[in-house]
Structures are given as C-alpha cells and as structure tokens.
Amino acid sequence: MRQAPLAAHIAFMMIRSLLAPSALLAAALLAACSPSSAPEADTAPRAKSSGVQASCTGRAYPEIGGPISLINDVGERVTEETYKGRPTLIYFGFTYCPDVCPMTLVNVERAYSQLPENIEPPQTLLISVDPERDTPEALAAYVKAPRFPENLVGLTGSPEDVRAAADEFLSDYSRIEQSGSQSEYTMDHTSLLYLMDEDWQLKTFFTHEDTAETISACLGELLAE
C-alpha cells in the first residue's frame, strides 16, 4: 500500500522528531481498505518528541488532535467538550469497511479485556469517514457488534464536519469507486488509533502493527498515571 497525502505528512513530522526513522512510524501511515495516493512533499510543521524513542510514551505530538463537532449514534450533537474529563480512544473508519476497521475494533476490545482490574478502559469513539452511508442509525447498529468494545460510540456528521474533524487529527481519507460492486464504493483512509487524555490532548497513538497485548500494556501504563 502507498501512503495517503496527509498521512505522509505525519510520517515526516514524526520521523524528523526522532533520532532515527522507525519501522513503527512508517507502518502508522498505512491506509486501510484500498491503495491510496503517493506521499507529497514535506510541508508540515515538525512535531516535538516527548523523549522516549519509538515507544508508546513517546508519541504525544501537539500538532495532532483538536476540536470536533459531530453527531453521535443517538442523534445528539457532540464536541470534544463532551468527552473531556476522561481519556478517549478514537478511530476513523466506516461501517462498510470489509476488514481493517472491524479487525482493529476487535483488537481494541481484546486489549481492554487484558487491562488490570483497577484500570478503566478509555471512552471509545468510531468517527465515520463515510457520512453518506453512516447515519446515526447505521452506526448505532454497527457499534453493537458482539466483539467490539462495549463502550464504543459512533460519530458522524455532514461531510464538512467529518472532514474538519479528520483534518484536526491529520487523518486522510478518500472515496474509491468500485464499479460492479454492490457497495458501489469504498473508503481509503488512515488507520490509526489516537489516545487523547482528559484534556483532549494526544497521549499516544497505535498502528495496525500493535497487538492487543502491546495496546493493553501501553494503556495500562498511561492510564495508571
């Protein structure tokens, strides 16, 4: 797979902020569900490393994360203020995603099940990159899948609101037409999990290379602070 344009910007930001390029960071920019366009030139600002190279505690980049204004899966308008006060894990995906999205959410649930008893899982949000099909009703049914996190909440909105939210997280996505397919199209998107702290600041992120065990270990360490 090739990297999506905005996703490529994240790679340049992160790699430059570390002592050496990391396979983990390269993997973080792989897009899900279909090939995406080649990386563009490095025009993004540099992020500052928090000092722990290539570890889950060294991925807190201030350029990633920001305000959102979306509709949850019961039809209510929500913003980042709705979720402040507790850590929040965010994933950008969509209900028609055939593999990467459901596998990621199953992996998150497995990670939560391995947390120490004294650690409460973070709030968990699925922000749809396919607002045309992912209505609140569609998301409400999707998030109830038995192997997904029990506290998973789906968010959608107008195309403009969804794009604005994705841009705040430097998360890219695009529509890929599939002629002859029942679904008609799919979505090419960045596949990252973002952990926001109680103040809606990025605490760390996870890639598709993270296992339930590595996610659980990192959450256990960060949420115990």
Any domain includes 19: no
**Number of folded domains that form the chain:** 1
The answer, yes or no, to whether residue 16 has pLDDT greater than 70, is no
Helix (H) / strand (E) element for 198: namely none
Give the least confident one: 29-33, 76-80, 204-208.
29-33
At residue 153, what are phi and psi to the nearest 5 degrees? -120, 135
Any domain includes 189: yes
Amino acid identity of residue 46, one-letter, is R
Helix (H) / strand (E) element for 221: namely helix 212-223
The β-bridge partners of 78 are 70
Residue 210 in contact with residue 223, Cβ under 8 Å?
A: no
Any domain includes 68: yes
The answer, yes or no, to whether residue 27 has pLDDT greater than 60, is no
Radius of gyration of the chain measured on its C-alpha atoms: 16
The CB-side HSE value for 165 (13 A sphere, CA atoms) comes to 27
pTM of the model: 0.80
Residue 109: domain span: 52-223
Q: What is the three-class DSSP state of 133?
A: coil
**In the numeric block, which tokens belong to residue 213?**
């065990």
- Kindly indicate the confidence band of residue 33, based on its pLDDT and cuts at 50, 70 and 90: low
The pLDDT of residue 181 is 77
**In the numeric block, which tokens belong to residue 216?**
């659980």
Which tens digits make up the pLDDT trace of 99-110? Answer: 999 999 999 999
Q: Cα(196)–Cα(202) distance, rounded to whole angstroms?
A: 4
Question: Is 9 among the annotated ligand-binding positions?
Answer: no
Question: For the packed helices 212-223 and 100-113, what is the interaxial angle rounded to 10 degrees?
Answer: 50
Any domain includes 35: no
Any domain includes 18: no
Q: What is the three-class DSSP state of 113?
A: helix
Which tens digits make up the pLDDT trace of 108-156? Answer: 999 999 999 999 999 999 999 999 999 999 999 999 999 999 999 999 9
Q: If you average pLDDT over every residue of the chain, what do you get?
A: 82
pLDDT mean over 56-80:
95
- Kindly indicate the confidence band of residue 3, based on its pLDDT and cuts at 50, 70 and 90: very low
**In the numeric block, which tokens belong to residue 167?**
């841009």
The answer, yes or no, to whether residue 54 has pLDDT greater than 60, is no
- Our CA angle for 53, 188, 16, nearest 5°, is 25
Any domain includes 139: yes
The pLDDT of residue 187 is 95
Q: What is the CATH number of the domain that holds 177?
A: 3.40.30.10
Q: Cα(120)–Cα(139) distance, rounded to whole angstroms?
A: 24
Q: Cα(25)–Cα(210) distance, rounded to whole angstroms?
A: 11
